[in-house]
Amino acid sequence: MAESLASVEDLNAVLGEAPFARTYGYRVLDCAHGACELLVPYDESIERPDGIISAMAIMGAADVAMWLAVMTLRGLGETWVTSDMQTSFLRSGRDESVVCKATVLRLGRRTAFGCVECRGQTSGDLLAHHSVRYARVTGEERG
Evaluate if residue 138 carries a pLDDT over 90.
no
Fold of the CATH domain 8-142? Thiol Ester Dehydrase; Chain A (3.10.129)
- Lowest-confidence pick of 40-49, 68-77, 103-112, 113-122: 40-49
Inter-residue contact 28 to 15 (CB < 8 Å) = yes
Domains of the chain, residue spans: 8-142
Taking residues 60-78, report their average pLDDT. Answer: 96
Summarize pLDDT for 23-55 with one digit per residue, the tens.
Answer: 889 999 999 999 999 999 999 988 888 889 999
For the chain, give the mean pLDDT. Answer: 93
Evaluate if residue 1 carries a pLDDT over 70.
no
Q: For position 140, what pLDDT does the model report? A: 62
Q: For position 36, what pLDDT does the model report? A: 98
